[in-house]
Structure 1
Amino acid sequence: ESRAIVQSMSRKGNCYDNAVIENFFGIMKSEFLYIKEFENVEHFKIELEKYIDYYNTKRIKAKLKMSPVQYRTHFYQAA
């Protein structure tokens, strides 16, 4: 509440409610978590921030043929 974050709770037995975030976590684990070694928690946090920035701004999504930020910019310019 103090950070204005609303928790999303899935209905029991409905995997589609969390499909987007489950997809992200699967990709993040295979591209980042399982292939890197971290010296400590602080090092992990720094590297995670870098990965999320890469994921949002540079990593090309196959369906979009652009990064999420590029897609959002393109979408708003077209609207």
Structure 2
Amino acid sequence: MFYYQIQACHKPDAYEHELEVIRSIYHEHEGRYGYRRIHLELRNRGIKLNHKTVQRLMTRQGLKSTMRPKKYRA
């Protein structure tokens, strides 16, 4: 490991507060919201984050939205 990597390991997470809000929105809607809707909800609450950042944070935490099965149409 290089010195800059060792220093980076000891830094606190920059998105700690945002992660808590994302988790609360996700559990508030029982896992139905994906990163797009959570991104819009964060914007409504006054938190500005890029949608790719929201997606990365959700992936890191293992938060996935539930998908409805497609209905069969003949």
TM-score by length of 2: 0.41
Higher helix share: 1
The structure whose RCO (Cα within 8 Å, separation 6+) is larger is 2
